[in-house]
Amino acid sequence: MASNIRVPQQERSIEKKNKIIQAGYELFSEVGYYGTNTVEIAKRAGVSTGIVYGYFEDKRDILICVLEIYIDKVYKPLAHIIDHSPQPVDLYRLALSVIDKTIELHEQNAKLHNTLHSLATTDEAVNAQFISLENKITEQMSKQLLKIGIKTDNITEKVHLAMNIVQSFAHETVFDSHSYIDYEQMKKIVCNILVELFK
């Protein structure tokens, strides 16, 4: 069947589409993909159930769009921090800022993060979207780091790795709460790893 999905050109339509994505973003974050139903998305977005299928092929299609704004919400603030870090760069300080911001972001987005990753495993399209968007981010970040004077070999690999480590730590902090872990101490260790990585 040919796609009947409208590409909204009028402003009001774009606005409505965004409202749906925002509602999806919120609900997927709060109760996960399978905990959310389309009626609820529509209700939260202030539109009718039917029209959702005017803008999106199916529920998964909403997820794909949510994924886009998720990546934005998570990585843009980090890019901003890197871009605006005072010169000359104090790597340790920068690492700390990035980590703290990531934790803050993770507190809001952790559920969605996991939901997305889980679906990426099952759903090829979600996975592809994930990868392609991560690509862009890594590239951007690498450039930014160069711009602020951080020069090192294997910059892409290191950026990627650094992002993963920080994500991982943030998740640990926000979620797992192992009582025997001293998270402040752990944070310092992470900072040192990052410093070592980019010095």
Partner DNA sequence: AATGAATGAGCCTTCATTCAT
Partner DNA sequence: AATGAATGAAGGCTCATTCAT
Q: Is 182 in the site for a copy of itself (CB under 8 A)?
A: yes
For 24, residues 6+ apart whose C-beta sits below 8 A from its C-beta are 36, 41, 45, 62, 63, 65, 66
CB nearer a copy of itself, residue 80 or residue 136: 136
The 98-137 contact track toward a copy of itself, x by CB under 8 A, reads: ------------xx--xx-xxxxxx----x--xx--xx--
Instruction: Count, in order, helices (H) and strands (E) of the chain.
Output: 8, 0
Alpha helix ranges (H) inside 32-123: 38-45, 49-55, 59-83, 91-122
Question: Per CB under 7 A, does 6 bind DNA?
Answer: yes
Pick the binder of a copy of itself from 45, 82, 91, 190 (CB under 8 A).
190
The answer to whether 30 contacts DNA (rule: CB under 7 A) is no
Residue 13 engages a copy of itself in binding (rule: CB under 8 A): no
Give the whole-angstrom CA distance, residue 122 versus residue 119.
5
The answer to whether 25 and 69 have CB atoms below 8 angstroms apart is: yes
The answer to whether 45 and 20 are in contact (CB under 8 A) is yes
Binding residue (CB under 7 A) for DNA from 18, 32, 59, 110: 59
**Which residue's CB is nearer to DNA, number 8 or number 77?**
8
Provide, rounded to whole angstroms, the least separation between the CB of residue 32 and DNA: 11
CB-CB contact of 62 with 71 (8 Å): no
- Give me the residues that bind DNA (CB under 7 A), please: 6, 8-10, 12-13, 16, 34, 36-39, 47-55, 58-60
